[in-house]
Amino acid sequence: MSRSTDGSRYLRGKRALYARGYSTLILSLVFLTLLIIYLADIAIPVGSIESPRYSVEVLKKFNISIERVLFNEAYPIQPGSNITIHLRVGSTRVGIGNIVFEPGKEIRLNGSSTSIDVDGEGPWNIYVFDESVGREILAGVVYKSSDLLIQTGAYTALLSVYVISKLYVKIDPQGTVGLMLRLTYINRSSETIDLGVCSHQGSSACFYSIERADLSRYEAILYMKTPLLNMKIVDGTLIASPYDNPQIFIPAIIIAFSMIIAVGVRRDDRRRSKGRSIPSSRRSFT
């Protein structure tokens, strides 16, 4: 009778051990899967939606201002005459300032500035007209905001050149879908601008204008937010990213890891209790 009882206990113990091992394996797989998905930021498709139409137009310009001018005292021009700095970028020509010529003097200027629309992504050549030789000469090559030192027969001038990008954004109304812009700059810094949801009634679109210096590139991102998930929209597919939803993935990872630890602790407790019961059973047989 005692052998039969011991055998049934042994079988029950084996089944319990197998069940605990199986549950530990499942929990470990769940934990590792969640951890890999989170660390690799694996996007998960969760549905589809009709995306609103939008457009982003980027125009570039130079904002140029004169900081200082040092006049050449040997330049053959009547003192008190007015001098204008003539610049050209591409096919656009502008004149800056109407500066009184004072031979040998350095003048600091405030408010002498202009804007030049430019094409392409740069770099851009800036030319200055040198009256002493009667033609344009290359003043410098610009691809980002910087100071530019130019020299002609009449003067040496220090200019500040700011490369400005102006983004014009248009998005059709869609009550649940928003638009954000991820901007990356030449110095590799970045920022994200959330334009929100265009909720205009009817067919009236939403328009936005953003101006930034030294913009390298931009990325337009459509998104939709619910009380449970933050989702991006890629080609009409709703995508849930772990990094966008830490409120779901981090607690799930912690819970799975805690359950693995709890199963291991219960197993160790049973082993210790079983080890303590062996001496008493041996004494009962003696």
> What is the band of 271 on the pLDDT scale with cuts at 50, 70, 90?
low
User: Distance (Å, rounded) from C-alpha 148 to C-alpha 158?
Assistant: 6
Fold of 60-165: Immunoglobulin-like (2.60.40)
What is the residue whose two structure tokens read 């989702």?
A: 231
Q: Which two tokens stand for residue 30?
A: 């769940």
Peptide bond into 246 cis (omega under 30): no
Q: What percent of the chain has pLDDT over 70?
A: 83
Q: What is the mean pLDDT of the chain?
A: 83
What type of residue sits at position 255? I
What pTM was computed for the model?
A: 0.70
Most confident of 111-115, 210-214, 239-243: 210-214
Residue ranges per structural domain of the chain = 44-57+169-247, 60-165
pLDDT digit string (tens) for 174-185? 778 999 999 999
